Amino acid sequence: MTASTDTAVDLAERARSVAAERIPPFLRWAGGKRWLVPQILRLTSGIEVKRYHEPFVGGGSVFFALPRLEEAVLSDLNTDLIEVYREVRDHPMDIHDRLERYENTRDHYYAARAASPVDAIDRAARFIYLNHTSFNGIFRVNLRGEYNVPFGNRKSVNIPDRAALRAASERLKGARLNAADFERALGDVREGDLVFLDPPYTVAHNNNGFVKYNQHLFSFDDQRRLAESVRTLVEIGARYILTNAAHHSIDELFSTHGRRLTVSRRNVIAGKAAARGSAEEYLFTNIEEL
């Protein structure tokens, strides 16, 4: 066996070992819940999780933090994002090879942003590159569906390396990936399953109750649909954790379906560092305290 083969085998074994435990997400994601992972792990430490569902997967911070699951269903309305997860699962090293061609420069960024790759692996690599070099990791498209986030102008970026992509690939091999609305994504939840819900934070009477959700609008009516879905989850005996805006209209929708916690996060979306600070969010769950 050659030295290069030894290295490849060691790398694969190391990735499998890491993937069995908590691994960092390979995407930056505005509104991601990496900061909330310790509290979620405490909530779930006393329960056995065999099937896990995440219908607003985004950057997948919670999924990647949980111990290896027997079965996971990851969904999002963002079809480009779900394609990235599929390609990382199936072709991690090909994606890494493509990523090595990119540079963290303004000209390179805007050239990549304007490109329209035909190959799925190339599209996934481009998505990851733009995600790590864009302004604050925001995903935003215009009315034509074109990615239009400006260059982040960061001196250094943490593009995922071979080990990170291999570990993510190993973890994703146990997941079913769906590009779907949350209501359809929750259609096969069963008794005893764990569901983590992190929807766009729409509240009533704020900007007419709408926020931009990828190419779509997520309205307060969607929050009402989500509340009905949570009620159904409770009725069938599933466990759920829901994060949402700390607002009385949200409390009114979800407080009857479990207990409410108030959690604090650092707001990293604001454009200027001086404008960033702590913000409160609500966490609803039907998991009892240990």
Annotated binding site for S-adenosyl-L-methionine: 29, 33, 76, 198
Binding-site residue numbers are 29, 33, 76, 198
Nearest to 41 by CA among 17, 64, 59, 7: 64
* C-beta separation of 238 from 191 below 8 A: yes
Backbone angles phi, psi at 278, to 5 degrees: -85, 150
Sheet of 239-245: strand order equals 175-179, 71-76, 51-54, 194-197, 239-245, 278-285, 259-266
Quote helix, strand, coil % in the chain, to nearest 5. Answer: 45, 20, 35
Inter-axis angle of helices 162-172 and 79-90, nearest 10: 100
